[in-house]
Amino acid sequence: MGMAGQQTARTPSTLLDGSAPETVAAEAARRRTFAVISHPDAGKSTLTEALALHARVIEEAGATHGKSSRKATVSDWMQMEQDRGISISSAALQFSYRDTVVNLLDTPGHADFSEDTYRVLAAVDCAVMLVDAAKGLETQTLKLFDVCARRGLPVITVINKWDRPGKDALELMDEVQQRTGRVPVPLTWPVGLSGDFRGTLDPRTRTYTRYRRVAAGAALAEAEVLDPAQAAELEGAAWTEACETADLVAESNGAFEPGAFLAAEATPVLFAAAALNFGVGTLLDVLVDLAPPAGARPDAAGVPRPVDAPFSGFVFKLQAGMDRAHRDHVAFLRVCSGVFRRGTVLTHGATGKPFATKYAHQVFGRDRETVETAFPGDVVGLVNASALRAGDSVYTGTPVTFPPIPHFSPEHFQVARAVDAGRAKQFRRGITQLEHEGVIQVLRSEVRGDQAPVLAAVGPMQFEVVADRMAQEFGAQVRLEALPYTLARRVVAPDPGVLNQVPGVEVLWRSDGEAVAVLTDKWKLGRIPTYAPEASLEPIGGDAEETTPA
C-alpha cells in the first residue's frame, strides 16, 4: 500500500505493457461505468434493455407486454429469472454510444439479493436511481441510495412509468429532496400528467420532444423535437402547465450545475417510460455528457491510484452457470488502472501468486466474446479464475490493495443436507462454489460437520437459488431445515466458545476464520454480559447500517 502511494508522485513515460500513459488516460475518459438501482418492479431490467436498444446493440426489446408474458430480457440469463420475471444476479453489459464506451451493470430486482447490489456499487462511478412514478421512493431504493451517498457516488434520478397513473411531478420532486438530501434539478419535465405521457420539455432550451409509441414498445419510439410555439399550438394547456411547473422547480432549486452533481449535492432528474422507450435516449446522452469518467480510485489506505499507473483491478462478483455447456464460472473484474491485456500474468493480491488471464470475456447478457484489451472503467469476465474471490485485488508491477467488500448481517438461517448421501462430494463442491460466489454465506462448526453447514441469508429467496443451482448445476439435491436464529454478530472475544453456553446463541465459523455468533433474537444480546462477561460482539462488517440491508 505504501508503494501504491508513490504512484501519485510521478508517471512513467511508458507503462509496463508498452502503452503510453496519455493513451490510457484518453481511453479512461471515454468510459462511463454505472449501475441501475431501485425497488423491485420499478423497471430496472426493462430500462437496461431499452438502453441497449437505443444504443442499437439489440434489434428488439423483449419487455413488450409486462412480466407475465414478456420475453427474457438480455440481462436475465438464469432460468429462475426467466421463469419469475425478476433479476436475481447482476449482469454486465458493455456497448458503445456516440464516442463513449458504456459499462452498464444491472442489479438484482429483489431485496433478498441486496448483497449482490452492494458489491456492484463498489465497482461503478455513478448510479441511476430508478423511481416508480406511482410509488415514489421506496425502502429498498433509499437503502441503496444511502450506500451511494456513503461512497460519494453521483446519482441520476429517473422517474419511470410516467405512462401510468401516478403521483404529481412536484410531489415527487419534494420527496426526492426530503428523503435523499440532494437537490433535484429536472433536465426534462413531463408534458401531460402521469398516465398521459405526451413528451418532455427541456427546461434549458424550452424545446419539446414529442414521443409516439412504436410496435408496443419493442422498437424505438418515434421522437419529434418542436420549438415552444409549435408545442403550445399542439399541446395547448398541457404545454402551458408543464412550462409553469418546470419554472416553479427551477425558481426553487436553481439551474443544473455539473459541479454540484459530481459532488453528490444535486441529482439531475429525467422523466421516462422505459417500457415504451420514452425518454431513454435522453438518459444515454446525459450519461455521456455529465456522468464522471473512470478516474483514480483510492486503495485500502485511501491513496488514489491514477488511471495511468500499472494495471490494477478488483473482483466484485463471481458467477457460475452462465455457460452450462462448459460449467465454467466467471470472475467479474473492474479495471482500475493501466491496460488489461489477455494473456498477461497478473499477481493475485491475496496470495501473492501469479496467474495467467488466457480466458477473458466481455459479457452481454447471455452472450460473450473474447476481449483482448480493456481500460480503466471496463469490466472483464475472467473465466475459470478459481483462485479469485469477491473483493480480491489483482495487479502488475506496483502492488495495490483496494478496499474490501464487506460481509452483510444475515437474518435467515437454514441447515443444508444432501438428499442423497452418495452425492456428498458434489454437495460439498456445490456449497463451496456458491459460498465463493457470494450467493449465500456459509457457516460451519465441528459439532455440525461439513455435511450439515448452516446457510445464512439476507433474504429467504437466496435459499431457493441455492436449492435450484445445487440440483441443476451440481447434481446434488439439498434438504433445507430452518433454524430459529434471526441475527448474527462477529465475535471478537478471545474465546468465542464461551458464547455456546448462552441459551439461544450458537458460535459458527466462516471460511475466512471469522467467528460468528447467531442469536434467536435481539434480546439475547442483552443476556450475553451475564452469561459471558468477557465476550465482545460487533456487527458483521463493522457498520450495522451499511451491512444490514433493508
Residue set of the binding site for GTP: 106-110
Quick one: cell of 163?
405512462
Query: SS3 of 27, please?
Result: helix
- Greatest alpha-carbon span in the chain: 79
Q: How far is CA 436 from CA 295, 316, 368, 442, 444, in A?
A: 29, 12, 22, 9, 15
Q: Which residues are annotated as a binding site?
A: 106-110
CA distance 550 to 528: 26
DSSP calls for 399-416 = ---PPPPPP----EEEEE
- Residue position matching grid coordinates 501519485: 8
Q: How far is CA 271 from CA 98, 178, 241, in A?
A: 22, 19, 16
CA distance 445 to 516: 10
177-212 burial: b if 16+ Cβ within 10 Å, else e: beebebbbbbbbbbbbbbeebbbbbbbeeeebbbbe
CA distance 532 to 294: 49
Neighbours of 61 (CB within 10 A): 27
Q: Which of 103, 81, 78, 100 is nearest to 92 (CA)?
A: 103
- Residue position matching grid coordinates 488514489: 304
Output Rg (C-alpha) for the chain, integer angstroms. 25
How far is residue 45 CA from its own chain's centroid? Answer: 12
Report helix angle 169-180 to 237-253, nearest 10.
20
Nearest-10 Cα torsion for 220, 226, 231, 233: -120
**Exposed, middle or buried: residue 465 (CB in 10 Å: 0-12, 13-18, 19+)?**
buried
Task: State the sign of the Cα–Cα–Cα–Cα dihedral 271, 277, 281, 287.
Answer: positive
Quick one: cell of 497?
466458545
CA distance 34 to 506: 40
Q: Which of 481, 482, 470 is nearest to 423 (CA)?
A: 470
CA distance 447 to 327: 33
